[in-house]
Structure 1
Amino acid sequence: MVVTCYFMDSNWLLQKRILNFCNVPPPHFGIVITKALRNSFIEWGILDKVFTITVDNASANAAAIDILRDDIELRGSLPIGGLMFHVRCCAHITNLLVQARLSEIGDIIDSVRQGIKYIVVSESRLNVFSDIAKRLDLGCNKLILDVLTRWNSIYLMLKTAIRFKEVFPRYHRVEQAFLWVISPEQWDKVENVNQVLAVFNYVTNVVSGNDYPTSNLFLPEVWRMKEMVDIKAADKNEYIRLMAAKMSDKFDKYWGESNMVMALAAVLDPRYKMKLIRFCFLIIYPLDVGGDNIKTVLNTLKELFELCVAAHNASIIQQQASAEVIATSTTVASVTEKVSGGRSRFRQHVRSNDIIRPIKTDLDVYLEEDVFIYDSENGEDSDANFDALGWWKSNALKYRILSKMARDVLPVPISTVASESSFSTGGRVIEPHRASLSIDTAQMLLCGSDWKMVEVELPNLP
Structure 2
Amino acid sequence: MTISVDNASMNDKALNFLIERLPNIYDGGKHFQIRCFAHILNLIVKKGLTELDDSVQHVTKTVRYIKNSTQRISKFKKCIEDSEITIKRFLFSDCATRWNSTFDMLKVANELKDAFYKYDIRNSEYRSDLEKVHKAVDFRTCAGFVEFLEKFKVKTKSMSASTKPLAHLFFGEILDIDTHLRKWQAKPAFKVMATKMRSKYEKY
TM-score normalised per structure 1: 0.39
Residues 146-161 of structure 1: matches in 2 within 5 Å?
Answer: 146-161=94-109
The alpha-carbon distance between structure 1 residues 201 and 147, as it changes in their structure 2 partners (threshold 3 A), is same
**Corresponding residue for residue 133 of structure 1:** 80
Alpha-carbon distance, 1:125 to partner: 2.0
C-alpha distance in structure 2 between counterparts of 1:84 and 1:212, whole Å: 23
C-alpha distance in structure 1 between counterparts of 2:12 and 2:124, whole Å: 52
Residues 174-323 of structure 1: matches in 2 within 5 Å?
Answer: 174-178=122-126, 179=130, 181-209=133-161, 213-235=165-187, 237=188, 239-254=189-204
Alpha-carbon distance, 1:201 to partner: 0.4
**Corresponding residue for residue 112 of structure 1:** 59
> Do the aligned partners of 2:37 and 2:159 also contact (CA within 8 Å) in 1?
yes
**Corresponding residue for residue 167 of structure 1:** 115
Alpha-carbon distance, 1:166 to partner: 3.0
Alpha-carbon distance, 1:107 to partner: 4.6
Residues 93-104 of structure 1: matches in 2 within 5 Å?
Answer: 93-104=40-51
Alpha-carbon distance, 1:248 to partner: 1.1
Unmatched runs of 5 consecutive residues or more in structure 2 = none
Q: Percent identity?
A: 31
Please give the per-residue CA displacement for 1:178-229, whole angstroms capped at 9, x wherever unaligned. 3262223332322222111011000111123455753223333222211110
The alpha-carbon distance between structure 1 residues 99 and 108, as it changes in their structure 2 partners (threshold 3 A), is farther
Amino acid at match of 1:215: A
The alpha-carbon distance between structure 1 residues 165 and 123, as it changes in their structure 2 partners (threshold 3 A), is same
Find 1:88's aligned residue among 16, 22, 35: 35
The alpha-carbon distance between structure 1 residues 177 and 90, as it changes in their structure 2 partners (threshold 3 A), is farther
Unmatched runs of 5 consecutive residues or more in structure 1 = 1-50, 255-462
Kindly report structure 1 stretches of 4+ aligned residues shifted beyond 6 Å.
Answer: none
Please give the per-residue CA displacement for 1:229-287, whole angstroms capped at 9, x wherever unaligned. 0111211x2x3111111111111100xxxxxxxxxxxxxxxxxxxxxxxxxxxxxxxxx
* SS of alignment partner, residue 166 of structure 1: helix
C-alpha distance in structure 1 between counterparts of 2:102 and 2:195, whole Å: 21
> Do the aligned partners of 1:169 and 1:181 also contact (CA within 8 Å) in 2?
no
Find 2:24's aligned residue among 56, 64, 77: 77
> Do the aligned partners of 2:94 and 2:105 also contact (CA within 8 Å) in 1?
yes
C-alpha distance in structure 2 between counterparts of 1:80 and 1:122, whole Å: 60
> Do the aligned partners of 1:158 and 1:190 also contact (CA within 8 Å) in 2?
yes
Larger Rg: 1
**Corresponding residue for residue 5 of structure 2:** 55
RMSD: 2.5
